[in-house]
């Protein structure tokens, strides 16, 4: 027992052993590639927050605080308060630039390229808006009749996800971006009469609730938002964690399948060499020595595959960053390695593979020398389960294939799980792609408005009320498994011309309808009672889910205006928003937010670029895994049945008939795996969306088209046929003399 024999065994089954290495490599590549990319992106975002002093939260009030009030509050609550000066400028009918004063202690500007601001005539643009609208460093841009020189591209940590409104799903750099000016430069363009003021704060979280109560009592508090519920700041972390979790689950499951395949291969080898092992036992070799020998080759295969997978994972981690870079803005992301990544990417898979292989070996070698010498554990013995399932009512070829499945049930189970995993990955690719395209189509078709303007002052709403339809909107939160989730509740006016929701005007007391996405995302049910939390007023309200609405463009609760007033104990007009199909020329300082249907749709379309890249990666990986698993397991079945195949040939069966008996019968296993893969792909996609959209106001329901299901089935069938073409050569090379070997 030496390395020469191990090398000979490796060469004798070269393609099978290379397949082992390839499968391990793919699993480690998935784990390392995604985790290295996403961990590096998360680290870069954390460094940006730390180095450029991200806020702990923000609040908006009607009017403004005096310097004396700011100092008093800072001393009282042990926090730092800073005015967050910004103004929106319409470059034209479709392009908006939010101009931000860059001279501040919190949310400072990180330079991505170019130079920092040095004079009041200079401006820094966010890189995505600049790229989409062809602004180059050195160009000039006119803001409020003042000319500014673009000296660089940069971003502040509170705009990593550059959303126009916090309720937006994704950024839309084609139409919205941010720009940074010096304090003196900002004074040149700040000629608006703003009615509200936005402040950022940093401080001990213990004092934050007290700060909110204080502001609610002494000011007209319009919004109070902690950092964790600010999607401009937090979404990057949720988005990166989704692919991380998915890659670890897929990678570890794949390693477990590889370990089982290796253990099946080793057990098959031991059965074939039972008499040789019996002789070795009789000559004084013990079980541990034999285990060390038989585990050496699979250990080397796993080690080689792990090293290759780690190396390839490091290579693909840079392209995988594009998934995040397409949506978020950060300075250059440095790819980093960690002991955690080595443990998850190499040590853990090696440990799983060796554990399962060792347990399998221990059981296989736990035989007496006499039983091994007698060949009682050879492949030629008919098991009890084979005697039970005789399949007498079937024709010969069907009966043969079914009995072969029963005989090779261990390999068949491993094949089933391998197909299930690979097809689940393929179905996940289809689910993610189809879901996004359907969501865009549904938005274009079903969103009942073009614009929604939420007003700060009731008087301004009344002034413009004839230009649209009034409605009531309020940001609230609900507690879901100990975590607060943001929702929007809307009160619909009677005889609405925009919102056609059956049954909404018959709702009474505290009854509401929910958007379909909330049912899937948070597991809500009709009849559930919810506690609504208003962070601004620091109050709670109770409602009951009466049904499901016909609209699904965000996390909304819907009710009629009468019930809306009853829920919030309002005894006066509660409308605060205007729904229109045409844009209204309203001064920016009069509205707290604007929802634009076209911007919402464009944001989702930006997501499709990332989804298509990820779907293509998953597709290639799924096909590689499928072909490798099918080839390895069916090759092992052929190797184990060489004597029987030889005898079948001696009896006069043609090559096509032999192929029909040993290859084509396994397609039923692929069909079974495909059927189970559809719900598995749904669950993986939902887990991915749950992570990415945890703190977003929108949610995409997993969906797959019938054409995608058929396409996945065709891909599986073609992969199977290609693998069978390779395996047919192995069947054809089985010699008739094999039947004369190892006969008692």
Domains in the chain: boundaries = 1-51+249-378, 57-234, 402-446+598-744, 451-582
Task: List pLDDT tens digits, range 414-451.
Answer: 778 888 888 888 898 899 889 888 888 888 888 888 88
Q: Can you give the pLDDT at residue 379? A: 47
Cross-strand pairs, 580: 451
Task: List pLDDT tens digits, range 209-260.
Answer: 788 888 888 888 888 888 888 889 988 888 888 788 878 888 877 777 777 7
The residue behind tokens 């009849």 is 527
Distance CA 23, CA 305 (A): 8
Distance CA 693, CA 168 (A): 12
**What are the E-state strand segments in 493-582?**
511-514, 529-534, 539-548, 556-560, 577-580
Residues near 703 by Cβ (< 8 Å), separated by ≥ 6? 431, 434, 435, 438
Distance CA 565, CA 509 (A): 10
Residues near 367 by Cβ (< 8 Å), separated by ≥ 6? 274, 376, 377
Q: Can you give the pLDDT at residue 164? A: 86
Count, residues in the chain: 744
| Pairing assessment for the beta strands 79-83 and 57-62 based on DSSP bridges | unpaired
Residues near 203 by Cβ (< 8 Å), separated by ≥ 6? 56, 77, 78, 79, 80, 211
Left (φ > 0), alpha (ψ -120 to 50) or beta: where does 78 sit?
left
The residue behind tokens 């700011």 is 70
Which residues, given as ranges, of the chain have pLDDT below 50?
Answer: 379, 744
Distance CA 315, CA 420 (A): 28
With beta carbons less than 8 A apart as the criterion, state whether 176 and 27 touch: no
Task: Please indicate, yes or no, whether the overall pTM of this predicted structure exceeds 0.85.
Answer: no
Q: Can you give the pLDDT at residue 178? A: 95
DSSP 142: E
Distance CA 236, CA 228 (A): 11
Structure token digits, residue 461: 């709403």
Distance CA 323, CA 319 (A): 8
Distance CA 647, CA 631 (A): 23
Per-state percent for the chain, helix, strand, coil, to nearest 5? 55, 15, 25
With beta carbons less than 8 A apart as the criterion, state whether 503 and 616 touch: no
**What are the E-state strand segments in 8-145?**
57-62, 79-83, 86-90, 96-101, 110-114, 122-125, 140-143
Residues near 393 by Cβ (< 8 Å), separated by ≥ 6? none
Q: Can you give the pLDDT at residue 375? A: 58
Residues near 518 by Cβ (< 8 Å), separated by ≥ 6? 487, 524, 555, 557, 699
Q: Can you give the pLDDT at residue 112? A: 93
Distance CA 39, CA 18 (A): 31
Structure token digits, residue 476: 């609230």
Q: Can you give the pLDDT at residue 374? A: 64
């Amino acid at each position: 027992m030496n390395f020469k024999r191990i090398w000979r065994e490796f060469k004798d089954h070269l393609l099978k052993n290379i397949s082992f290495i390839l499968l391990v490599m793919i699993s480690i590549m998935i784990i390392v590639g995604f985790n290295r990319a996403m961990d590096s992106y998360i680290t870069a975002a954390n460094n940006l927050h730390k180095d450029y002093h991200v806020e702990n939260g923000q609040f908006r009030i009607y009017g403004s605080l005096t310097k004396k009030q700011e100092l008093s509050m800072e001393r009282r609550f042990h926090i730092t308060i800073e005015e967050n000066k910004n103004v929106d400028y319409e470059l034209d009918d479709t392009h908006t630039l939010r101009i931000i004063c860059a001279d501040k202690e919190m949310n400072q500007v990180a330079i991505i390229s170019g130079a920092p601001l040095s004079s009041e005539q200079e401006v820094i643009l966010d890189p995505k808006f600049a790229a989409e609208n062809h602004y180059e460093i050195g160009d000039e841009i006119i803001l409020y009749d003042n000319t500014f020189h673009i000296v660089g591209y940069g971003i502040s940590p509170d705009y990593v996800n550059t959303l126009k409104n916090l309720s937006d799903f994704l950024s839309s750099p084609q139409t919205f971006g941010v720009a940074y000016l010096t304090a003196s430069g900002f004074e040149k363009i700040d000629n608006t009469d703003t009615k509200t003021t936005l402040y950022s704060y940093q401080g001990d979280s213990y004092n934050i609730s007290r700060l909110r109560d204080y502001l609610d009592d002494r000011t007209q508090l319009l919004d109070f938002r902690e950092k964790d519920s600010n999607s401009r700041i937090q979404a990057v972390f949720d988005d990166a964690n989704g692919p991380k979790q998915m890659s670890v689950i897929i990678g570890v499951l794949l390693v477990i399948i590889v370990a089982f395949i290796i253990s099946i291969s080793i057990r098959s080898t031991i059965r074939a060499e039972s008499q040789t092992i019996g002789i070795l036992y009789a000559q004084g070799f013990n079980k541990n020595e034999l285990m060390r020998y038989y585990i050496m080759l699979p250990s080397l295969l796993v080690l080689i595959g792990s090293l290759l997978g780690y190396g390839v994972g490091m290579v693909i981690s840079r392209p995988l960053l594009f998934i995040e870079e397409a949506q978020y803005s950060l300075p250059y992301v440095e790819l980093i390695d960690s002991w955690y990544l080595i443990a998850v990417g190499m040590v853990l898979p090696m440990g799983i593979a060796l554990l399962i292989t060792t347990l399998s070996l221990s059981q296989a070698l736990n035989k007496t020398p006499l039983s091994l010498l007698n060949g009682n554990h050879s492949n030629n013995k008919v098991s009890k389960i084979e005697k039970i399932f005789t399949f007498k009512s079937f024709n010969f070829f069907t009966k043969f294939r079914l009995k072969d499945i029963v005989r090779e049930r261990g390999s068949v189970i491993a094949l089933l799980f391998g197909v299930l995993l690979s097809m689940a990955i393929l179905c996940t690719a289809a689910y993610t792609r189809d879901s996004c395209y359907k969501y865009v189509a549904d938005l274009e078709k079903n969103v009942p408005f073009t614009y929604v303007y939420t007003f700060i002052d009731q008087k301004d709403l009344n002034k413009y009320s004839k230009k649209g339809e009034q409605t009531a909107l309020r940001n609230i939160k609900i507690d879901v498994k100990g975590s607060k989730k943001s929702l929007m509740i809307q009160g619909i006016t009677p005889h609405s011309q925009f919102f056609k929701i059956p049954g909404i005007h018959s709702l009474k007391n505290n009854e509401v309808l929910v958007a379909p996405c909330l049912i899937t995302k948070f597991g809500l049910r009709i009849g559930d009672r919810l506690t609504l939390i208003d962070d601004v007023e620091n109050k709670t309200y109770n409602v009951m889910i009466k049904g499901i609405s016909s609209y699904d463009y965000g996390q909304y609760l819907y009710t009629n205006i009468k019930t809306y007033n009853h829920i919030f104990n309002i005894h006066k007009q509660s409308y605060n928003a205007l729904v229109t199909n045409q844009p209204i020329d309203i001064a920016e300082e009069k509205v707290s937010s604007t929802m634009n249907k076209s911007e919402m749709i464009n944001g989702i379309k930006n997501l499709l670029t990332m989804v298509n890249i990820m779907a293509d990666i998953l597709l290639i990986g799924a096909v590689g895994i499928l072909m490798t698993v099918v080839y390895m397991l069916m090759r092992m079945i052929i190797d184990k049945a060489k004597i029987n195949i030889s005898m079948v040939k001696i009896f006069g069966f043609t090559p096509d008939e032999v192929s029909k008996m040993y290859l084509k019968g396994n397609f039923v296993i692929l069909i079974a795996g495909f059927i189970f893969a559809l719900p598995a792909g749904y669950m993986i996609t939902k887990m991915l969306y749950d992570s990415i959209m945890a703190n977003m106001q929108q949610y995409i329901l997993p969906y797959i088209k019938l054409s995608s299901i058929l396409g996945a089935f065709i891909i599986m069938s073609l992969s199977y046929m290609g693998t069978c073409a390779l395996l047919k050569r192995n069947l054809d090379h089985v010699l008739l003399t094999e039947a004369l070997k190892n006969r008692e």
